[in-house]
A = this chain, B = another copy of it.
Amino acid sequence: MSKASHTECTSEMLPVRDALDIISGKWKLLILISISSGNSRFREIERSIPKITSKVLAKELKDLEENELIERTVYDDIPVVIKYTITPYAKTLQPVIQALSDWGKNHRKKILGR
Task: Name the one of B12, B24, B93, B110 contacting A26, with C-beta atoms under 8 angstroms.
Answer: B24
User: What size tier do the contact residues of chain A reach?
Assistant: 35 or more
Tell whether A107 is near chain B: CB-to-CB under 8 Å: yes
User: Do the beta carbons of A48 and B10 come within 8 Å of each other?
Assistant: yes
Contacts of A74 in B (CB 8 A): none
User: Do the beta carbons of A38 and B1 come within 8 Å of each other?
Assistant: yes
Stretch at the interface among A15-23, A58-66, A76-84: A15-23
A→B interface (CB under 8 Å) = 1-4, 6, 8-10, 12-22, 24-26, 29-30, 33-34, 36-39, 47-50, 89, 92-93, 95-108, 110
For the complex of A and B, the 4 pairs showing the least CB-CB separation, nearest first, are A15-B104, A3-B38, A19-B104, A18-B104
